[in-house]
Amino acid sequence: MKVALFVTCLADHYFAEAAADAVRLLRHLGCEVTFPDAQTCCGQPAYNAGMSREAVRMADHTMEVFADCEAVVLPSGSCATMVKKFYPRLMEEADRAVQAAALADRTFELAEFIMRRLGVTRLGDGLAGRRVALHQGCHALRELRLETEPAVLLEGAGAEVVPWEAAEECCGFGGLFSVKMTDVSAALADRKLDSLPRVDWVVSGDGGCILQLDGRGRARGDGVEFVHLATALWRGVDGWAGEAMAERDSGGRHGRSNGQAGRRLE
């Protein structure tokens, strides 16, 4: 399958290696990955601020860039939600609801794409022995309803996803919210960090949440390691036994492991 990567602003600049891991992972699963160069921002900052005219302009641009793609994958639950859920709402008033709905149908968050579109649940066992806590971005959880997908993929790759009292609570990022209501936003992050169990990694599919939690965690001197879901999943493939790989390869759908085992995390 041909997949266009919509990298998103934050991943482009702050989680570039994770976005590259998403590409590796998709290729490994047999997809041909393209990167439409004219892509920019999905428009969510403007949409969340209530500036819908600006958001419509950005949505128009994005819809044009990805118009002919078979599938669009984003390494971000939040930006995927913008395209999948909020574009149709936003474009209804701009009379382009049909185009928006068509793009929405072809757009996926990374874990969503792997499980719901490709039907893959087992990536490998590269995460065997890892204790991870999973922070789901609110949009991934409550708009895309990815209530199980990321955990299933992580556990399928051998990780132990540790229960976390505040797992489903918001990290307090919320884009504009974190700069406008900075004290409250930081208090939300504290609630997450204070209740965090002992783990090797905190994994999240949203760069914004990681910037927030990691920024706060470093300011507090917590020493917690945050890993983007794309990187964690790609690491899950890493330990894949050659035999199993060959089996999958014989199906002709999946590319061979690209010899990245043991590659260092960013």
Q: How far is the CB of 24 from another protein (least distance, A)?
A: 7
Closer of 43 and 150 to another protein (Cβ): 43
Q: Which long-range contacts (CB under 8 A, 24 or more apart) does 91-97 make?
A: 91/56, 91/59, 91/63, 93/52, 93/56, 94/56, 94/60, 96/60, 96/63
Q: How far is the CB of 158 from another protein (least distance, A)?
A: 24
Q: How far is the CB of 229 from another protein (least distance, A)?
A: 15
CA gap 181, 36 in Å, rounded: 35
Those residues whose C-beta lies under 8 Å from the C-beta of residue 116, and which sit 6 or more positions away, are 108, 149
DSSP H helices, the chain, are 9-14, 16-28, 44-48, 52-65, 77-81, 87-93, 97-106, 110-112, 138, 149-156, 176-180, 182-194, 207-220, 229-238, 242-250
Q: How far is the CB of 258 from another protein (least distance, A)?
A: 6
Closer of 12 and 200 to another protein (Cβ): 12
Q: How far is the CB of 215 from another protein (least distance, A)?
A: 3
Closer of 37 and 95 to another protein (Cβ): 37
CA gap 3, 112 in Å, rounded: 14
Q: How far is the CB of 129 from another protein (least distance, A)?
A: 27
CA gap 100, 154 in Å, rounded: 31
Q: How far is the CB of 105 from another protein (least distance, A)?
A: 21
SS3 call for 245: helix
CA gap 143, 265 in Å, rounded: 30
Strands 160-161 and 201-204: unpaired
Nearest to 83 by CA among 52, 41, 111, 115: 41
Closer of 156 and 217 to another protein (Cβ): 217
Closer of 159 and 237 to another protein (Cβ): 237
Closer of 80 and 159 to another protein (Cβ): 80
Closer of 117 and 142 to another protein (Cβ): 142
- Could you list the residues that contact another protein (CB under 8 A)? 7, 9, 11-17, 19-20, 23-24, 35, 37-41, 43, 45-52, 54-55, 57-58, 60-61, 138-139, 142-143, 165, 168-170, 172-174, 176-189, 191, 211-212, 214-216, 218-219, 258, 260, 266
